[in-house]
Amino acid sequence: HSSKRSLTKIYAYGHDQDQRKFWLALILTSVTLQDIRNTVGNIPMEWYKDYPHIGYDLDGKKIFKPIRNKDELDEFLDKMENPDYWRTVQDKMTGADIRLSDEQVDLVHRLQEGKFGDVNFNEYEPAIDFFSNEVMIHPVTNRPQDKRSFIPSLIEKEKVGKLVHAIKMGWIKPRRPKETTPQYYDLWAKEDPNSILGRHKMHVPAPKLKLPGHEESYNPPPEYLMSEEERLAWEQQDPEDRKLSFLPQKFACLRAVPAYSRFIHERFERCLDLYLCPRQRKMRVNVNPEDLIPKLPKPKDLQPFPTTQSLVYRGHSSLVRSISTSPSGQWLVSGSDDCTVRFWEVSTARCLKTVEVGGAVKGVAWNPNPSICLVAISYDDTVVLLNPGLGDRLVSTATDQLISSYEEPEEVKEQPVQWTVAEGEGHEQGHRLILKHPKAVRQVTWHGKGDYLACVMPDNGSSLQVVIHQVSKRRTQNPFRKNKGLVQCVSFHPIRPYFFVATQRYVRVYNLIKQELTKKLMANCKWISSMATHPGGDNVICGSYDCRLAWFDLDLSTKPYKVLRHHKKALRSVAYHRHYPLFASGSDDGSVIVCHGMVYNDLLQNPLIVPVKVLKGHTITHDLGVLDVTFHPTQPWVFSSGADGTVRLFT
Amino acid sequence: MGGLQKKKYESGSATNYISRNKARKKLSLSLADFRRLCILKGIYPHEPKHKKKVNKGSTAPRTFYLLKDIRFLLHEPIVGKFREYKIFVRKLRKAYGKAEWSGVQRMKENKPAYKLDHIIKERYPTFIDAVRDVDDALSMCFLFSTFARTGKCHVQTIQLCRRLGVEWMNYIITSRSLRKVFLSIKGIYYQAEVLGQTITWIIPYQFAHDHPTDVDYRVMATFTELYTTLLGFVNFRLYQTLNLVYPPKVKHTKCASIKYMDLHISYQKLAALSASLARTVPSVEDEEAELDHFPAEGEDLEKMETREKMELEQNKQKKLFEGLKFFLNREVPRESLAFVIRCFGGEVSWDKSLCIGSTYDETDETITHHIVDRPTIDKQYINRYYIQPQWVYDCVNGKILLPVEEYFLGVTLPPHLSPFVEESEGDYVPPEKLKLLALQKGEKPQAEEDEEEEEEEEDDEDDEEEDDQSEDEDEAEDEASLAEMEEKRAQGKSLSVKVTPGKVKPENRMRTEQEEKAEEKRLAIMMMKKREKYLYDKIMFGKKRHVREANKLAAKRKAHDDANKPDKKKKKKKC
């Protein structure tokens, strides 16, 4: 019974059967302590696992394990059939099965419920208060008082002394009085404008957050919702690139609106912006775009200029590289890659004459002298002077006579070019003189008087790139001793003895009489393609392959007075009108742009340049559009030849 | 030619700027403290014009502060307080370690505290400056007041934020300065006009927050510290301007009740936003200063007139809900609705069990509007409208009482538009906005007629398109015939010459004129300078994009309407 009492302190919490069995076994061991038969003591019993006996009895004889041959199935059957199975427990000390009595089971139940094991134990006995507030006459203990209880403590004295010292030294301060001023008060009661710091003027207040638009509404108009594709695109975008930081959504009622998951994030980002972002005052350009457009005189007021395409000269089967008009303006000559030169009547677009030559025609030039009817044609390395025999018969015969009246000089000079007189079939076709050059001739151009003819043979290696022929004396000169780069084109000054030579990036102006370089114009472009001289002689325009047209005023500077970037593609040719203040440029984009370029006699006034018309007509073939443009000598008309094998007249 | 050789980076911009790390060392503060100081003092980095020069030749990304700013921080007394606090924490830790509880107690009592009053005064030298900058403070305080009272930040901070928010809302109600409200998917935006300053703030919907992990709450807490101070002072001053008691008290008819009223309950009543506030001076209500009329001429007169008109409109808006009695069902956002309705002079109440401060019952016969946010309601009273909450917000934004039919229970609501969008010319205007504008002008809604008209217009447009097409076709035919003729000519065949009477082409003078003008413009644009051309192109690109976006929205809307038209017609037929 006493062992039972000692066990009552143990509480059980388990409820399942195994737990209960464990408790039963535990109790059993303690219950059987009294009539102990096994003397091995309180040891783990698995030490005897491998032996046939389980311990020793009081006499020192082995206690053998009871024969247990039950397998799992027997165990199960036993569990099912034996009504006392649940209260049967194996005694670990003896290995025998023991059936618990009702008393023992009751004890287990009581322990499981956390009650005392003893049924008769009263846990609520009335408490007796021994140490009550009532002072009794007898002391609890009879011990005499210590001496230290009535002698002042030295340790305490020391402690007090330390505190006093600390107070004296100011180490311990009296408790601070609690602040009585209210938390908030009228902070701006005395607004003193003088106390505002100077730096406050420099302060940039934080910009306010952008206000939300319709798309942020919980119930936005349907057009603000994203379609499926837009939504996918939005999701694939980087969060920083997104135009909207959220997906617009529509909810049927206010109750259905959920919390916005990025609310704290957005507030935090605002905080970061406020203290981490550099602030700057940025001047916003607030201009009306219309004000940026320059105020130019109206094209209407600048008439006349060509406005419409009126005639198309068809006949060539390949690119028409070059065209030229007769000085009277009645005829037009065009040279093409199909090895023909055609002569047209300007007003009717009739092809009057076709002359076949031995190669793709690179350049044609009509002699500007009205008293001579002569056309220079260049193909391969040959330049042919041709009398088309058009117009006034007298002029034509006079020209023939002029050529045939040539007399061989006494002393023959060595010439770089071979002059021969055309005979036979060539003569019948109109060929008068044939000039054989050492290299391919690209451009021919006449001097204004009609006696000198300049030819360009572009070649980077040699100094013989430009030759000037004198037709009346059948003489040829090479004006330059040195090679100064690839010559693109040349032109004569209309009045004075100047000669313009355009290399890739520069235009050089030579004085032919003094035989010196007078000016070098810098075109500011990559590759000059063409050049034209103003009839006044003080202005030059240069077209270039990088879409630019540079206008030089020779009196102003060696840099372009104006650079026009009107064309989308490379410029092929430029031309001035002889009388009207017009110039035109043709480009690979198939358009001819006519500009009004007024040059004033007053030196103080700069030239006025106004684009007046974009003429379109040529179709682009092989990425080439307009190849040559030239003006009618008297009318405000412009001819253009293109890669589509046509020549067009715009009036 | 004497003189010392100048060394690099010893003058000029290199000496005007200081990198963050250097600044931190100069102030001998930890990074966290430096950050806190910058936030409190409103110091922000500067982007130098020539970064490489300032960075002494290096191109490493660095944050730069103005040296002057950092020098200015050197004098800040609060830096000393930071250090004190650091020491206090160290001492406290040591006392804990040694288990010196009396020492801990003593130290806690003497905990160093700092005030931000002087910083507020310094950053906002005038009251108007402070009011102008109160936007962020409000949003932040309202956010913090919705936080749960555990973790993330001190409970005192949350309580203070809530208190300041309630005070602010009460001020807005009393001064009737709310102008616009917007229900967005993020929260509810409010815009008020306080002392001439437009102030916008956002309050999140009432849900528990899912606290993100990638947010530094210390930074937020520092901002909140500053903002609560600012907002407290601003509130004080604002209450003073209206002769209200600060801290605010609910107005009571019986003086005795105040004494016995529990402080906590009084605060809750205040937070319920249903009662008006006590005033220091019992003032006469509605004493609005009338504008003095000055004789003016020309433009001034026009301005005056528009101003007067605006004033009149505003006064009308302020009394929008006057005389109306609202009752809120329990599923609607009570605080927001009570705030908005009271701001415009309406009376509002709710179920007693929902919140303190309800003034009348659901059974009250004088209730005019009952706000419900559920499809149906069981018990309905006859003499009141049952409407959805959006009506209140739309009325406020529209500045008129909108017809209630579109907001009845179970009805599909019209879109809720943002009141902050002011459409300029060329912008896309949603049709609902047009309708609202028409309503504001006093026109009656004629939805059906409009629709018909629209249809007609569409037809017209179609016709025009067809015309264009036919013209194009004609031209094409002409071209074809011409080409044929040319071909024949080229082949040398004799044409069958026939003279037909020529047609006089009707010359559209307007069109030619326009074309001429367009060409003129094109040519002029060609002559622009490079820089101006670039700018012009940029502006034009922006404009075009704008137009494109507007067109896209319009097209989307049209497609949507077309798709929904049959449904509508069906519905009508059913009706």
pLDDT of B448: 43
| Nearest residue in chain A measured CA to CA from B239 | A186
Confidence of residue B288 (pLDDT cuts 50, 70, 90): very low
- Which residues 199-228 of A have a C-beta within 8 angstroms of B? 199-200, 203, 205-206, 208-209, 211-214, 216-224, 227
- Which residues 321-380 of B have a C-beta within 8 angstroms of A? 331-333, 373-374
CB pair distance less than 8 Å for A187 and B332 = no
Q: Which residues of A touch B35 (CB under 8 A)?
A: 275
The Cα–Cα gap between A313 and A332 comes to 10
The Cα–Cα gap between A341 and A356 comes to 6
Task: Look at A559-573, B273-287, B423-437 and tell me which has the smallest mean pLDDT.
Answer: B273-287
Q: What is the mean pLDDT of chain A?
A: 84
| pLDDT for residue B491 is more than 70 | no
pLDDT of B145: 92
**φ and ψ at residue B342, rounded to 5 degrees:** -70, -30
pLDDT of B460: 42
Confidence of residue B20 (pLDDT cuts 50, 70, 90): very high
- Both structure tokens of B107: 């130290």
**What are the start-end ranges of the H helices in A153-249?**
154-169, 199-202, 228-236
Whether the CB of B216 is below 8 Å from some CB of chain A: the reply is yes
Chain A interface test: which of B20, B62, B129, B185 (most A C-beta within 10 Å):
B185
| B255-281 pLDDT, tens digit each | 444 454 566 777 788 888 777 777 776
| pLDDT for residue B5 is more than 50 | yes
| A86-110 pLDDT, tens digit each | 888 888 777 778 888 999 999 999 9
Whether the CB of B426 is below 8 Å from some CB of chain A: the reply is no
CB A340 within 8 A of CB A357: yes
Which of A321, A314, A318, A345 has the alpha carbon at shortest distance from A331? A345
Confidence of residue B295 (pLDDT cuts 50, 70, 90): low
Residue-wise burial string across B393-412, b where 16 or more C-beta atoms lie within 10 A, e elsewhere: bbbbbbbbebeeebbebeee
| A332-372 pLDDT, tens digit each | 899 988 888 898 888 888 888 888 888 888 889 888 888 88
Find which of A181-190, A460-469, B250-259 is predicted with most confidence, using mean pLDDT. Answer: A181-190
Which whole number is the average pLDDT over B190-203? 93
Name the residue facing B417 among A214, A227, A566 (closest C-beta): A214
- Both structure tokens of B444: 């009656």
CB B372 within 8 A of CB B356: no
| pLDDT for residue B72 is more than 50 | yes
Chain A interface test: which of B523, B546, B567 (most A C-beta within 10 Å):
B523
Chain B interface test: which of A181, A226, A263 (most B C-beta within 10 Å):
A263
pLDDT of B104: 94
Confidence of residue B568 (pLDDT cuts 50, 70, 90): low
Residue A587: in which H helix or E strand, if any? strand A582-587
> Helix B20-27 to helix B67-74 angle, to the nearest 10 degrees?
20
By CB atoms closer than 10 A (0-12, 13-18, 19+), residue A173 is: exposed
Which whole number is the average pLDDT over A507-517? 87
pLDDT of B261: 55
CB pair distance less than 8 Å for A219 and B388 = no
The percent of residues above 90 in pLDDT, for chain A, comes to 13
Q: Which residues of A touch B72 (CB under 8 A)?
A: 199
CB B234 within 8 A of CB B130: yes
A564 or B37, which is more confident = B37
**What ranges make up the beta strands (E) of B362-464?**
369-371, 385-387
Confidence of residue B468 (pLDDT cuts 50, 70, 90): very low
- Which residues 75-114 of B have a C-beta within 8 angstroms of A? 109-110
CB pair distance less than 8 Å for A211 and B522 = no
| Nearest residue in chain A measured CA to CA from B41 | A275
Confidence of residue B318 (pLDDT cuts 50, 70, 90): confident
From the CA of A595, how many Å to the nearest CA of chain B? 10
| A254-279 pLDDT, tens digit each | 989 999 999 999 999 999 999 999 88
Q: Which residues of A touch B216 (CB under 8 A)?
A: 268
∠ CA B496-B497-B503, nearest 5°, is 125
From the CA of B4, how many Å to the nearest CA of chain A? 35
CB pair distance less than 8 Å for A614 and B215 = no
CB pair distance less than 8 Å for A224 and B553 = yes
| pLDDT for residue A216 is more than 80 | yes
**φ and ψ at residue A539, rounded to 5 degrees:** -130, 145
Q: Which residues of B touch A314 (CB under 8 A)?
A: 490
Whether the CB of B289 is below 8 Å from some CB of chain A: the reply is no
pLDDT of A19: 56
The percent of residues above 70 in pLDDT, for chain A, comes to 94
The Cα–Cα gap between A220 and A213 comes to 10
| Nearest residue in chain B measured CA to CA from A251 | B185
pLDDT of B65: 93
Whether the CB of A296 is below 8 Å from some CB of chain B: the reply is yes
pLDDT of A13: 40
- Which residues 593-632 of A have a C-beta within 8 angstroms of B? 609-614
| Nearest residue in chain B measured CA to CA from A608 | B527
pLDDT of A12: 39
| Nearest residue in chain A measured CA to CA from B517 | A298
CB A94 within 8 A of CB A48: no
The Cα–Cα gap between B184 and B197 comes to 23
Name the residue facing A279 among B44, B121, B516 (closest C-beta): B44
Whether the CB of A267 is below 8 Å from some CB of chain B: the reply is yes
Residue B435: in which H helix or E strand, if any? helix B431-441
How many CB pairs below 8 Å do chains A and B form together?
249
Task: Give, as one character, the DSSP assignment of residue A281.
Answer: -
CB pair distance less than 8 Å for A259 and B207 = yes
Q: Which residues of B touch A300 (CB under 8 A)?
A: 516
CB pair distance less than 8 Å for A276 and B45 = yes
CB pair distance less than 8 Å for B490 and A299 = no
The Cα–Cα gap between A382 and B393 comes to 91
Residue B17: in which H helix or E strand, if any? strand B17-19
CB pair distance less than 8 Å for A287 and B535 = yes
| Nearest residue in chain B measured CA to CA from A612 | B523
User: Per-residue DSSP letters for B68-128?
Assistant: HHHHHHHT-HHHHHHHHHHHHHHHHHHHHHTT-HHHHHHHHHT------HHHHHHH-SSHH
Task: Give, as one character, the DSSP assignment of residue A176.
Answer: P
| pLDDT for residue A534 is more than 60 | yes
pLDDT of B51: 87
| A50-97 pLDDT, tens digit each | 888 888 888 888 888 877 777 888 888 888 888 888 888 888 777 778
Whether the CB of A287 is below 8 Å from some CB of chain B: the reply is yes
The torsion region of residue B566 among left (phi > 0), alpha (psi -120 to 50) and beta comes to alpha
| Nearest residue in chain B measured CA to CA from A207 | B133
Residue-wise burial string across B317-327, b where 16 or more C-beta atoms lie within 10 A, e elsewhere: bbebbeebbbb
Q: What is the mean pLDDT of chain B?
A: 83
Chain A interface test: which of B183, B184, B408 (most A C-beta within 10 Å):
B184
The Cα–Cα gap between B532 and B485 comes to 48
Interface predicted TM-score (ipTM) of this complex, two decimals: 0.84
pLDDT of A4: 42
pLDDT of B301: 76
Whether the CB of B232 is below 8 Å from some CB of chain A: the reply is yes
CB pair distance less than 8 Å for B183 and A208 = no
pLDDT of B464: 43
Name the residue facing B560 among A211, A223, A263 (closest C-beta): A223
CB pair distance less than 8 Å for B44 and A275 = yes
- Which residues 54-113 of A have a C-beta within 8 angstroms of B? none
| pLDDT for residue B47 is more than 70 | yes
pLDDT of B7: 85
Whether the CB of A183 is below 8 Å from some CB of chain B: the reply is yes
| A406-434 pLDDT, tens digit each | 777 777 777 778 888 877 777 777 888 88
Whether the CB of A294 is below 8 Å from some CB of chain B: the reply is yes
Q: Which residues of B touch A255 (CB under 8 A)?
A: 331-332, 373-374
B237 or B458, which is more confident = B237
